[in-house]
Chain A
Amino acid sequence: MSSSDPAVRCDAVSRRYGERLALDRVSLQVQPGERVLLTGGNGAGKTTLLRMLATLLRPHEGTVTVAGHPLPREARRVRPLIGYLGHEPLVYPGLTAGENLELYAALHGAPAARVVEALELVGLERRRGGVASELSRGMRQRLALARAVLHRPQILLLDEPTTGLDDDGRERLRGLLASHEGTALISTHEPEWFAPLGVRSVQLAEGQLA
C-alpha cells in the first residue's frame, strides 16, 4: 500500500441477492484516517457494503479496493488490516470471553497478550472467565468490539456498534474511536451520537448513495 491509496475505494459497485439489488452502482472513497458514517433505513445496503469491505461478499459488478488491494483478488492482504463488527457478536456462546478472544488472536496471528488488552479496552477484564452465552446482550456487544479491535486493525468496519451498549459501554466505544488513528466506516441509526468525533455522513437508500 502506498500512502496515496485511499483506505476504501468503491467504483460503481453492485451486489445482488437473487434478483434483488442490494447495492446499486455505489461509488465511494474514504481517505486514510477518515471516519465515515453510513446511514439509511433498514435494507438500504449498509450491512452489504460493510460485509463486502470485510471480504465476506464479492462484488457482482464494479471494483472495490481496500488500502490499494483490489477485492476479492487480494482479500488475503486486506484481512489483516480490517476489524469487522457484525450484527451477531461472532463469538462461540459455549466458550468464555477469554477463550473466544484467544481463538481470534490465533486466527489473526496476533500475540496472546492482546487478549487482556482488548478486554480492558471494553471493560470486560473481570468477565474473562464468563461463558459468552451467559453474558448480557450489552456485555456480548462489548466482547464483539474487543474481538474486532484485538489485532489493532487500520480500518474498522463497524455495523451498528452502539446496539445494546449501556452508557459506560458507549463511552468506551467513543473513547476507542477517538484514540483509533486509522480509518473507520460505521453504520448507524443515530448519527448525532457520533457527530462529536468529526465524521462524514454518507446516506444509502435502496442500495444507492443518496
Chain B
Amino acid sequence: MRAYRALLRKDLLLEWRGRELVPAMLAFVLGAMVLVRFGLGGETLAGGTRAATGLLWVVVVFTSMLALVRSFAQEREHGIWDGLLSTPADRSAIWAARATATFLFLALTQAVALPLFWLFFLQEGRSPSIPVLVAALLLADLGVAMLGSLLAGLATHVRAREVLLPVMFLPFMLPLVTVAVRLTVDTISPQTSGLHTSQGLGFLALYDTIFGLLGWALFEYVVED
C-alpha cells in the first residue's frame, strides 16, 4: 500500500508540475466536440441528441488514447523501469498506481467535457439521464484505465508503439462502447426500464472486474524480462 501511494503521488506530482497530459486532453476533447457538432451538420438534426450521445463515447475513447500513449513515458524515456523493478515493490502496485492516475486524468477531463457536451448538444431537446451518463462514464474510465495501463506496459518495448497501442486497444473498446452507447442513449426516451439501465451498468462493472483481475495478474509478466 505504501508503494502504491508513493507511486500515485509521483504520477500526480509529475503531471501537476509538467502539465503534460491533462491540458492536451482538454484541448483535444474541446476540438473533438466542435468537430462532432460540425459533423452532425451544425444545426440540430432529427435524432441529434441520440447521435451526439453516441459520438460522445467515441470522443471519450479517442481522448483516453492520448493518456494511454503517454503512460509510462517517463519510465521508458529515462530508463527508470530498471530502478522500479530492482526494488521489492509489488509489480501490481505499479500497475494499480498508473491505472489510478489515468482514471483521475480521464475523470478530470470529462468533468470539463460533460458541461461542454450539454452546452453544444443538449440545451434544447431531450437529454439522456445525467446520473446514468456520469455513472457509465466513471465505470468506463475505470475499465479503460486498468486495461490501458496493462497494454501501455505491453507496448513499452514495442516498435512503433504510438501506432500499435491504439490498434491493440480498440478491439477492447468495442463491447464497452456498444453497451455504454445503448445504455445512455436509451435513457433519452422516458419509458426506459430501470432493469435495462442496471443491466447495462452491471455489464460495465463486470468489464472492470474482468480487466482489473487480468491486469493485476498479468502486469508482472509484461514488465519483467
Find out whether the CB atom of A91 lies under 8 angstroms from the CB atom of B80.
yes
Find out whether the CB atom of B85 lies under 8 angstroms from the CB atom of A55.
yes
4 more A-B residue pairs beyond the given contacts A88-B80, A109-B89, with a C-beta to C-beta distance below 8 A: A55-B86, A79-B86, A80-B88, A91-B83
Find out whether the CB atom of B86 lies under 8 angstroms from the CB atom of A56.
yes
Whether B41 sits at the interface, judged by CB under 8 Å, is no
B-chain residues with CB within 8 Å of residue A91 when the two chains form the complex: 78, 80, 83
20 A/B residue pairs, CB under 8 Å, sorted by A: A56-B85, A56-B86, A57-B225, A58-B225, A79-B86, A79-B87, A84-B83, A86-B83, A90-B80, A91-B80, A91-B83, A92-B10, A92-B80, A93-B74, A94-B74, A99-B10, A102-B6, A106-B6, A107-B3, A107-B89
Minimal beta-carbon separation of B28 from chain A (angstroms): 22
Whether A189 sits at the interface, judged by CB under 8 Å, is no
Find out whether the CB atom of B79 lies under 8 angstroms from the CB atom of A87.
yes
Say which one of B12-20, B108-116, B128-136, B188-196 lies at the interface with A. B12-20
A57-B225, A58-B225, A107-B6 known; A88 vs B88 contact (CB < 8 Å): no
Whether B70 sits at the interface, judged by CB under 8 Å, is no
A-chain residues with CB within 8 Å of residue B83 when the two chains form the complex: 84, 86, 90-91, 104, 147
Q: When each residue 16-53 of chain B gets 1 if its CB lies under 8 Å from chain A and 0 otherwise, what string results?
A: 01100000000000000000000000000000000000
A-chain residues with CB within 8 Å of residue B80 when the two chains form the complex: 88, 90-92
Q: When each residue 103-143 of chain A gets 1 if its CB lies under 8 Å from chain B and 0 otherwise, what string results?
A: 11011110000000000000000000000000000000000
- Report the nearest B residue to A144, measured CB to CB: B83
Whether B204 sits at the interface, judged by CB under 8 Å, is no
Which residues of chain B have a CB within 8 Å of any CB of chain A?
Answer: 2-3, 5-7, 9-10, 13-14, 17-18, 74, 78-80, 82-89, 224-225
Find out whether the CB atom of B87 lies under 8 angstroms from the CB atom of A86.
no
Report how far A57 CA is from B224 CA in the complex, Å: 8
Report how far A111 CA is from B135 CA in the complex, Å: 40
Find out whether the CB atom of B14 lies under 8 angstroms from the CB atom of A106.
no
Report how far A91 CA is from B224 CA in the complex, Å: 19
- Interface residue from B6, B10, B79 paired with A90 (Cβ < 8 Å): B79
Find out whether the CB atom of B87 lies under 8 angstroms from the CB atom of A108.
yes
Whether A54 sits at the interface, judged by CB under 8 Å, is yes
Find out whether the CB atom of B14 lies under 8 angstroms from the CB atom of A94.
yes
Q: When each residue 40-73 of chain A gets 1 if its CB lies under 8 Å from chain B and 0 otherwise, what string results?
A: 0000000000010011111000000000000010
- Interface residue from A58, A82, A84, A99 paired with B82 (Cβ < 8 Å): A84
A-chain residues with CB within 8 Å of residue B13 when the two chains form the complex: 94-95, 99
Which residues of chain A have a CB within 8 Å of any CB of chain B?
Answer: 51, 54-58, 72, 76, 79-80, 82, 84, 86-88, 90-95, 99, 102-104, 106-109, 147
Find out whether the CB atom of A93 lies under 8 angstroms from the CB atom of B78.
yes
B-chain residues with CB within 8 Å of residue A92 when the two chains form the complex: 10, 14, 74, 78, 80
Report how far A93 CA is from B87 CA in the complex, Å: 19
Find out whether the CB atom of B87 lies under 8 angstroms from the CB atom of A107.
yes
B-chain residues with CB within 8 Å of residue A87 when the two chains form the complex: 79
Report how far A76 CA is from B224 CA in the complex, Å: 12
Minimal beta-carbon separation of B159 from chain A (angstroms): 13
B-chain residues with CB within 8 Å of residue A72 when the two chains form the complex: 224
Report how far A54 CA is from B224 CA in the complex, Å: 12
Minimal beta-carbon separation of B84 from chain A (angstroms): 7
Find out whether the CB atom of A108 lies under 8 angstroms from the CB atom of B79.
no
- Report the nearest A residue to B88, measured CB to CB: A79
A90-B79, A92-B10 known; A109 vs B85 contact (CB < 8 Å): no
- Report the nearest A residue to B4, measured CB to CB: A106
Report how far A126 CA is from B73 CA in the complex, Å: 29
